[in-house]
Structure 1
């Protein structure tokens, strides 16, 4: 099995967090350079509180970390979680490529 039972809820949180376009954009931004929540909020046509909620979802999923620096909350991407997601997707791709290759083999077999 691709994902063991213990990791199902963690994987579900990650993909649920990434299902939203704003959250995907936040992850891309903070993987490149850390940013305060207030700086991130300026990038979107939504309230500070809404951006803060998006960041909280990402943090619960392990995609970002927050660190208090004075009055600001600094957000940075968690590259290890991104690597885990990449590996999981690579494994899914491997499974599907194997299935497609097998279908091609079946189609090429001589029916006689």
Structure 2
């Protein structure tokens, strides 16, 4: 399955978001996904299987628990592919950074002026 096919599903994207902070048990992932999407445990298991089979996540057994974690390699491949499109948004992000810095400078100057009075 192509990486964008894997990430095209909102349930799988959400599972990866939950895994960003570190390992999660299959039970905790299932509980969170069922609450958010209203799908069955077997459906969540199928999404986890797709993430494992496509290399986006790996699982390790710890007793009877299964712990899932994100694998960075497929995400790096997507990042490389996206590189060709970054020119469309990087200048906007640079402009935003400039405006944020300008606003911070102006707030700091105003605070200093108030203290001086």
TM range (shorter): 0.5 to 0.7
RMSD: 1.7
Quick one: distance in 2 between partners of 1:54 and 1:18? 11
Quick one: distance in 1 between partners of 2:16 and 2:22? 10
Q: Does 1:30 align with 2:28?
A: no
Quick one: distance in 1 between partners of 2:13 and 2:75? 11
Map of 2:94 onto structure 1: none
Map of 2:48 onto structure 1: 55
Map of 1:84 onto structure 2: 77
Q: State the number of aligned residues.
A: 84
* SS of corresponding position for 2:2: helix
Q: Which has the higher contact order (CA 8 A, sep 6+)?
A: 1
Map of 2:31 onto structure 1: 42
Quick one: distance in 2 between partners of 1:88 and 1:47? 34
TM-score, normalising length: structure 1: 0.67
Q: Which has the higher helix share?
A: 2
Which one has a bigger Cα radius of gyration? 2
* SS of corresponding position for 2:3: helix
Asked if the contact 1:13/1:60 (under 8 Å) is kept, the reply is no
* SS of corresponding position for 1:42: helix
TM-score, normalising length: structure 2: 0.65
